[in-house]
Amino acid sequence: MSAAHGSKTTGRLEAHLHRRARWRWPETVFWLAVLATIIAIPSRVALTNEILVAGLFALSLDLILGLTGIVSLGQAAFLGLGAYAAAILASRGVADPTLGLVCGAAVAAVAGLATAPLLLRGSDLTRLMVTLGVSLLLGELANRNGWLTGGADGLNFSMGKVLGLFPIGFTGQRNAALYSFVVLFVLFAAARRLAQSPFGLALAAIRENRLRAGALGIATSGRIVAIYAVSAAYAGAAGALLAQTTQIVSLDLFDFHRSADVMLMLIIGGAGYLYGGLIGAALFIFLRDVISAATPEYWEFWIGALLIALVLMGRERIRAAAARATSLVAFRPARGDTA
């Protein structure tokens, strides 16, 4: 091929392949806005922290559901494991938050690795039931092993300072939210990079057509196990953050409603472009807060109505809106993509 011809096509090809790598200004605005919220609205900083942690939890689901197309109703298993790992460490005197966070993520990752093979066979329905089953099982184990977990009473504990400098908890709620913010941002940036790597592209291929992915030589089972472990680690980190910033854990962390809520958040925000979980978590928790202040016993009614409206409005319109948001927030559309 001639150099002149090659360079023009090569340039276009490279630009196309890298189109998602650069951070775009709406993304910068998004993260600065989150940071500004923490600093500017101290009265609601506990709510903001809850949103950040829920956003990380929803991001963990997006890694398997949005990127890879593997459904799960059991993310609460890893949230609970991460939370209890951090809480047990803290209650036994290992109060360093960073260490607790890493341990929470690691314990969840190991559990993810161990249970991932259960997801490789069967249909979506099988996967929903298996993941749900695993979370029920772990919840019951936590209930029965009260010597370790405090059983139905849960655990109370106090945390050390983040990096030995910043106290978190009731005396340092803003620090707690900033701590969650930093962890969320770092893990988000890592997930973003992963999504644009060859590994991330292979996950998209598995989601789009698992048969063909295998026919290209991709070891699809191995990739699913790997991303499931990463997703579990993210959920575990969310659990550890939740435990550390609220300084309490209880058995409801393993509850089914946690897994269901996080899926609602991701669907409300839109799966597959990584920001959906964060936006969905913010909307879900904000709406719950506003509606439950107005009608404490009916807030779930309105969340249900919103969900039905979202679905009935038409998948296509939601998807089109998500695509617009996607191109605005994260990715520049490919040439001709907008036609």
Partner 1 sequence: MSAPALEARGLQRQFGVLLATDNVSLSIAPGARQALIGPNGAGKTTLINLLTGIIKPSEGQVFLQGHDVTPLSANERVRLGLSRTFQINQLFPHLSPAESLGLAISERNGSGADFWRVAGTRPAIVAEIENLLTRFGLEAEMDQPTRKLPYGKQRLLEIALALATRPRVLLLDEPAAGVPEEERRDILAALAALPSDVAILLIEHDMDLVFSFATRISVLVAGRLLTEGEPEEIAADERVRAVYLGEDAHG
> Of 92, 121, 212, 257, which one interacts with partner 1 (CB under 8 A)?
212
User: Which of 12, 92, 315, 324: binder of partner 1 (CB under 8 A)?
Assistant: 12
Contact pick of 201, 313, 320, 321 for partner 1 (by CB under 8 A): 201
- Does 10 sit near partner 1 (CB under 8 A)? yes
Q: Does 198 bind partner 1 (CB under 8 A)?
A: yes
23 makes contact with partner 1 (CB under 8 A):
no
The residue (of 133 and 214) whose beta carbon lies closer to partner 1 is 214
Q: Which of 259, 238, 245 lies closest to 188, judged by CA? A: 238
Which C-beta is closer to partner 1: that of 156 or that of 197?
Answer: 197
- The answer to the question of residue 196 lying near partner 1 (CB under 8 A) is yes
Q: Which residues pair with 166 in a beta bridge?
A: 162
**SS3 per-residue string spanning the chain:** CCHHHHHHHHHHHHHHHCCCCCCCHHHHHHHHHHHHHHHHCHHHHHHHHHHHHHHHHHHHHHHHCCCCCCCCCCHHHHHHHHHHHHHHHHHCCCCCHHHHHHHHHHHHHHHHHHHHHHHCCCCHHHHHHHHHHHHHHHHHHHHHCHHHHCHHHCEECCCCCECCCECCECCEHHHHHHHHHHHHHHHHHHHHHHHHCHHHHHHHHHHHCHHHHHHCCCCHHHHHHHHHHHHHHHHHHHHHHHHHHHCEECHHHHCHHHHHHHHHHHHHHCCCCCHHHHHHHHHHHHHHHHHHHHCCCCHHHHHHHHHHHHHHCCHHHHHHHHHHHHHHHCCCCCCCCCC
One residue of 98, 173, 214, 247 binding partner 1 per CB under 8 A: 214
- Min dist CB 4 to partner 1, Å, is 14
CA within 13 Å, CB half, 104 = 33
* Nearest distance in Å: CB 180, partner 1: 24
Decide: is 18 part of the binding site for partner 1 (CB under 8 A): yes
Choosing from 118, 137, 218, 260, the residue that interacts with partner 1 (CB under 8 A) is 218
- Residue 1 contacts partner 1 per CB under 8 A: yes
Residue 305 in tokens: 């109505």
Q: Under the criterion CB under 8 A, does residue 110 sit at the interface with partner 1?
A: no
Q: Which amino acid is at 44?
A: R
The answer to whether 211 contacts partner 1 (rule: CB under 8 A) is yes
By CB under 8 A, name the one of 14, 124, 140, 252 that touches partner 1. 14
**Cβ contact 50:176 at 8 Å:** no
Q: For residue 28, state whether it binds partner 1 (rule: CB under 8 A).
A: no
Among 47, 99, 137, 204, binds partner 1 (CB under 8 A): 204
The size of the interface with partner 1 (CB under 8 A), counted in residues, is: 41
Tell me the per-residue interface mask from 278 to 317 with partner 1, x by CB under 8 A, - otherwise: ----------------------------------------
Told to check if 2 binds partner 1 by CB under 8 A, we report no
Say whether residue 161 binds partner 1 (CB under 8 A).
Answer: no
Q: How far is the CB of 220 from partner 1 (least distance, A)?
A: 7
- Please give the residue ranges that form the binding site for partner 1 (CB under 8 A): 1, 6, 9-10, 12-14, 16-18, 21, 193-194, 196-202, 204-205, 208-209, 211-220, 223, 226, 334-337, 339
